[in-house]
């Protein structure tokens, strides 16, 4: 059971999980209509490197997406 919990805790580190997050960031950028200075991969990688936990990672991603959406309001 402990190994199963460990693997679930680390699922956020997998390529497929991160690709899904990148797609969400990319969609937010497209909807904003504003080009960004960094690529989606660079932004996600920066967030991933800062995060120590799944919750922290998803929190950073949420803030990034909110920021992108707010930029479209100007």
Q: 10 and 48 in contact (C-beta within 8 Å)? A: no
Name the residue among 43, 45, 60, 41 with its Cα closest to residue 13: 45
Tens of pLDDT, residue by residue over 40-56, are 999 999 999 999 999 99
Report the C-alpha gap between 26 and 31 in whole angstroms.
Answer: 9
What is the pLDDT averaged over residues 8-21?
A: 92
What is the C-alpha to C-alpha distance for residues 74 and 71, in angstroms, rounded to an integer? 6
- Whole-model pTM: value is 0.83
pLDDT at 3: 55
CA atoms within 13 Å, Cβ hemisphere of 17: 13
């Amino acid at each position: 059971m402990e190994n199963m919990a460990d693997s679930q805790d680390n699922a956020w580190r997998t390529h497929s999980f991160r690709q899904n997050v990148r797609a969400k960031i990319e969609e937010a950028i497209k909807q904003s209509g504003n080009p960004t200075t960094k690529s989606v991969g660079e932004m996600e990688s920066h967030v991933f490197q800062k995060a120590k936990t799944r919750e922290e990672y998803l929190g950073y991603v949420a803030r990034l997406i909110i920021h992108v959406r707010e930029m479209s309001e100007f």
